[in-house]
Chains A and B, each alone.
Chain A
């Protein structure tokens, strides 16, 4: 005995029960309410196609709304609640929609609720509240979801008789086999028809598969068939709402299969007749499952409506279980079913049903042209069988029409997939046409789409199957048309006067059954799937508790506040230390490439838009790179370390794309060059020391005269070999020290000790930003925004006159040198602080002529300064504009000036 609850009431279930079986066992027929009209609904199927019996299972962040009661196995303590009803399931005020249903045909919402968009939103507020089914959790998920990859020779989907046989044959032939079954036990159709092959055969076959090395996954659904025979499997390790044993609720498998065998079977079709949606009306095979598999007989007086032989097995099962078979309505003419031993009516098509208090009371049918009715509390219907072709179609397969079964069956496929069993050879049926009134003849049960809605869509011109689907919402519910598509196609074909195959078919896209979002995300849900790149010197920074700044996947110290300093206070103190004395900072994330070989200079002159070849050994220079379209791509420095060996640095933010670009040029465009270009971004950590006393600090550290500005030397600090580049981003005399990342801590510590000895400071990105803005140095992602040319940035004088660099052709396009372009300018506040990102406007209400790309304060003198882009800015120095930020309610009057505010002559670099 297992205890569970439904809508707050305690019940018991038997081991192995689905929730649906347990509810029926407890005499509960009414389980849910439909989407649109809130009609009372019960349990219709015994599988994943269930449209009606949707409940919320579980509590808190583990609650799963819209869980099919037929697809959850009861566990101790399961808590289930009905949905989409108020105040309760039995008495649901939403059922008033049913009264208004004549006003609410398919697509009614397209024809009313006019007026302003705001007015629509008022109606919409109520529509949204009425729509939806269950409630989403409001908490995060306490459980985990995992992903796993697997490979096999043969993947078999479905463990019915055909699938089991295929799996055992392949496994015993030495193939690596994976067999998946969505149920929690093997056997599929064998479970409801045990007389054909017994449980012994199932377990013996499973044992043989395992003995031959095969893997069997139950409670696992093949939900998507992708390219090149990749199939995604969703495996439930715990039931919906259940606390997982090891914390993992579900697992997603990516299986690359050599061959896929689909043994998916088929889904029984309902029939369309009036009031065919009451609790107590079930699919015939489903009813048989409840009787045979679960030992539940959900009624006493049974009517069966069928167009095939299969339903007679259901009659036998119910008879064996002691129910009364009132009538079998067989759509086929006599003698079908004649010797079954039951009361059979041939040429009989159901018309309607009556009910009371959410139970079925009677069934009426047209028998040989005459209307008859029967009292019954259970109606089993079998309208034929729809092969499950979803995965075959997802794999890009085509379909054939099987006239005998009135069904589409798999034909060819461009992937290595075959379909076997019932899905390939569905049972023959008798083709029948609904005779009952189309209103209330439901075909999409969950979305309350009736034959009348199909007829209306047709009359209004929504005649392609896709229009029909979208206009009526048919097939858009959680069952994705598993029960409704064929009924709709049949009606459409009837209207068009064509055979069903000519009426068209909608596409089948993943997933086969709905997949939990947490499972799709896997472990990535916790961190947005984004990794963190850790600095080599991370631990040393972390010990100082800096303010961190994300930069791509990196986190870099933004400032190192003392005590309760704010970010701005700390940054200003740090920047002042650089201007007045010395500061040091971590520049490890800069892109770095070591380029070597006899053709290294030639290669660099392709990558860089400046000259490189004339550089003397031991010297470096500023450089920039263009994209193929001529816009500035990135900038950095290039250093000649040796005769045929260079170091190229570029921006942190552009590092990955620069690495790809350099690799592309080397591998694809210049395979003939004798050059090696190695990405050493993370091989070297970088430490910058800057300030008027930086030279003295470095001299102490390396025990020799530091290199002059834009020179490089190898040196040793604290016994560790380093490369010193004398380059300045801050505007002060400065050095960058590059050291193998694994030895970086030693060098950093030595440097820090020396910097602190002379009263210097560590500085972070914020201070660096102040320093570089004041100096007028560019930043990629700021001034260099991918839309600026070398002309716009006043870099054109540095262009390699000989050409030959990437981007030269793009740069020659006329619009790149026309007037009216935005050009780099400096901005000085006349009144107010300049808001970063603000727009430059000549007067209030005017359209922007540019914007502020970076703003800061003069470090020593104070006062707001900024860099920006301004239309024809070079010729507008002296002009006064407004830097306006309406979104922040800030503005400043600014004067356009040259884009550098500090040591214009560059004297502070020199010794």
Chain B
């Protein structure tokens, strides 16, 4: 069980979070059809670092992007997303 540092709550056990999807799978609302389907149905799925969208579902319920190594589980970043994180 990993430990994530929620940008709002600090270090918390992974069991409080739910993985939702990878950043590369996000279909922007204005994506043209073909691009949307390519986004939805393919993944880079690297044996290395990827950006993932997790939610602190059993905590503050905020969404975040976690940068994680898929083999070692090393976490190199976790940043908040959502309206409050807009520049």
Binding site for B on A (CB under 8 A): 149, 226-228, 230, 254, 256, 396, 414, 606, 628-629, 660, 663-664, 666-672, 804, 806, 809-810, 812-813
Does any Cβ of A come within 8 Å of B37's Cβ?
yes
Given contacts A254-B1, A628-B40, A810-B40, list 15 more A-B pairs with CB under 8 A. A149-B13, A226-B1, A228-B73, A256-B13, A396-B72, A414-B74, A628-B36, A663-B55, A663-B63, A664-B20, A667-B81, A670-B29, A671-B81, A672-B83, A810-B37
Do the beta carbons of B1 and A230 come within 8 Å of each other?
yes
Residue of chain A at shortest CB distance from B75: A228
Do the beta carbons of B29 and A804 come within 8 Å of each other?
yes
Do the beta carbons of A663 and B61 come within 8 Å of each other?
yes
Q: Collect the chain B residues with CB atoms within 8 Å of residue A668's CB.
A: 26, 53, 63, 81-82
Task: From the candidates A149, A227, A628, A809, name the one contacting B2 in the complex (CB within 8 A).
Answer: A227
Do the beta carbons of B27 and A809 come within 8 Å of each other?
yes
Residue of chain B at shortest CB distance from A669: B29
Does any Cβ of A come within 8 Å of B44's Cβ?
no
Bound-state CA distance A230–B62 (Å) is: 24
Do the beta carbons of A809 and B36 come within 8 Å of each other?
yes
Do the beta carbons of A809 and B33 come within 8 Å of each other?
yes
Binary flags per residue of B28-67, CB closer than 8 Å to A gives 1, else 0: 1101110011001000000000000101010001110000
Task: From the candidates A256, A414, A629, name the one contacting B40 in the complex (CB within 8 A).
Answer: A629
Bound-state CA distance A523–B12 (Å) is: 22
Bound-state CA distance A672–B26 (Å) is: 16
Q: Collect the chain B residues with CB atoms within 8 Å of residue A812's CB.
A: 33
Contact flag A227-B27 (CB < 8 Å), given A671-B83, A671-B86, A810-B36: no
Task: From the candidates A227, A254, A664, A806, name the one contacting B73 in the complex (CB within 8 A).
Answer: A227
Does any Cβ of A come within 8 Å of B3's Cβ?
yes
Residue of chain A at shortest CB distance from B13: A256
Task: From the candidates B3, B26, B33, B85, name the one contacting A228 in the complex (CB within 8 A).
Answer: B3
Contact flag A667-B37 (CB < 8 Å), given A226-B1, A228-B1, A254-B1: no
Bound-state CA distance A810–B61 (Å) is: 28
Binding site for A on B (CB under 8 A): 1-3, 13-14, 18, 20, 26-29, 31-33, 36-37, 40, 53, 55, 57, 61-63, 72-74, 81-83, 85-86
Q: Collect the chain A residues with CB atoms within 8 Å of residue B28's CB.
A: 669
Bound-state CA distance A813–B38 (Å) is: 12
Do the beta carbons of A671 and B73 come within 8 Å of each other?
no
Contact flag A256-B3 (CB < 8 Å), given A606-B29, A664-B20, A812-B33: yes
Bound-state CA distance A793–B55 (Å) is: 33
Bound-state CA distance A451–B53 (Å) is: 52
Bound-state CA distance A414–B69 (Å) is: 12
Bound-state CA distance A227–B74 (Å) is: 9
Q: Collect the chain B residues with CB atoms within 8 Å of residue A806's CB.
A: 29
Q: Collect the chain A residues with CB atoms within 8 Å of residue B36's CB.
A: 628, 809-810
User: Which of A227, A629, A672 gathers most chain B CB within 10 Å?
Assistant: A227
Task: From the candidates A396, A664, A804, name the one contacting B63 in the complex (CB within 8 A).
Answer: A664
Q: Collect the chain B residues with CB atoms within 8 Å of residue A628's CB.
A: 27, 36, 40
Contact flag A667-B63 (CB < 8 Å), given A230-B1, A256-B3: yes
Bound-state CA distance A1–B10 (Å) is: 54
How far is the CB of A478 from the nearest CB of chain B, in Å?
26
Q: Collect the chain A residues with CB atoms within 8 Å of residue B73's CB.
A: 227-228
Q: Collect the chain B residues with CB atoms within 8 Å of residue A228's CB.
A: 1-3, 73
Q: Collect the chain B residues with CB atoms within 8 Å of residue A664's CB.
A: 20, 63
Q: Collect the chain A residues with CB atoms within 8 Å of residue B33's CB.
A: 809, 812
Do the beta carbons of A667 and B62 come within 8 Å of each other?
yes
| Shortest Cβ-Cβ A-B pairs, 10 listed | A809-B36, A667-B82, A809-B33, A228-B3, A227-B2, A671-B83, A667-B63, A227-B73, A228-B2, A230-B1
User: Which of A628, A672, A804 gathers most chain B CB within 10 Å?
Assistant: A628
- Name 26 A/B residue pairs within 8 A (Cβ), A-sorted: A227-B1, A227-B3, A227-B14, A228-B2, A230-B1, A230-B3, A254-B1, A396-B72, A628-B36, A660-B18, A663-B61, A664-B63, A666-B82, A667-B81, A667-B82, A667-B83, A668-B63, A668-B81, A671-B81, A671-B82, A671-B83, A671-B86, A672-B83, A809-B32, A810-B37, A810-B40
How far is the CB of A9 from the nearest CB of chain B, in Å?
47
Bound-state CA distance A629–B31 (Å) is: 13
Q: Collect the chain A residues with CB atoms within 8 Å of residue B85's CB.
A: 671
Bound-state CA distance A804–B33 (Å) is: 11
Q: Collect the chain A residues with CB atoms within 8 Å of residue B32's CB.
A: 809
Bound-state CA distance A629–B33 (Å) is: 11
How far is the CB of A680 from the nearest CB of chain B, in Å?
14
Bound-state CA distance A396–B62 (Å) is: 31
How far is the CB of A234 from the nearest CB of chain B, in Å?
16
Bound-state CA distance A671–B32 (Å) is: 20
How far is the CB of B76 from the nearest CB of chain A, in Å?
13
How far is the CB of A806 from the nearest CB of chain B, in Å?
8
Bound-state CA distance A668–B81 (Å) is: 7
How far is the CB of A243 from the nearest CB of chain B, in Å?
32
Q: Collect the chain B residues with CB atoms within 8 Å of residue A669's CB.
A: 26, 28-29
Contact flag A660-B55 (CB < 8 Å), given A228-B73, A667-B63, A668-B81: yes
Bound-state CA distance A256–B72 (Å) is: 18
Q: Collect the chain A residues with CB atoms within 8 Å of residue B72's CB.
A: 396, 414
Q: Collect the chain A residues with CB atoms within 8 Å of residue B57's CB.
A: 660
Bound-state CA distance A383–B40 (Å) is: 59
Bound-state CA distance A414–B29 (Å) is: 40
Q: Collect the chain B residues with CB atoms within 8 Å of residue A414's CB.
A: 72, 74
Bound-state CA distance A606–B85 (Å) is: 21
Bound-state CA distance A664–B20 (Å) is: 9
Bound-state CA distance A671–B26 (Å) is: 14
How far is the CB of B11 from the nearest CB of chain A, in Å?
8
Contact flag A809-B31 (CB < 8 Å), given A629-B40, A660-B55, A663-B55: yes
Bound-state CA distance A666–B72 (Å) is: 32
Bound-state CA distance A338–B83 (Å) is: 80
How far is the CB of A510 from the nearest CB of chain B, in Å?
12
Bound-state CA distance A56–B11 (Å) is: 44
Bound-state CA distance A670–B81 (Å) is: 11
Q: Collect the chain A residues with CB atoms within 8 Å of residue B26's CB.
A: 668-669
How far is the CB of B25 from the nearest CB of chain A, in Å?
9
Q: Collect the chain B residues with CB atoms within 8 Å of residue A226's CB.
A: 1
Bound-state CA distance A692–B7 (Å) is: 55
Residue of chain A at shortest CB distance from B81: A668
How far is the CB of A190 from the nearest CB of chain B, in Å?
34
Residue of chain B at shortest CB distance from A811: B33
Task: From the candidates A254, A256, A396, A809, name the one contacting B37 in the complex (CB within 8 A).
Answer: A809
Residue of chain B at shortest CB distance from A806: B29
Q: Collect the chain A residues with CB atoms within 8 Å of residue B2's CB.
A: 227-228
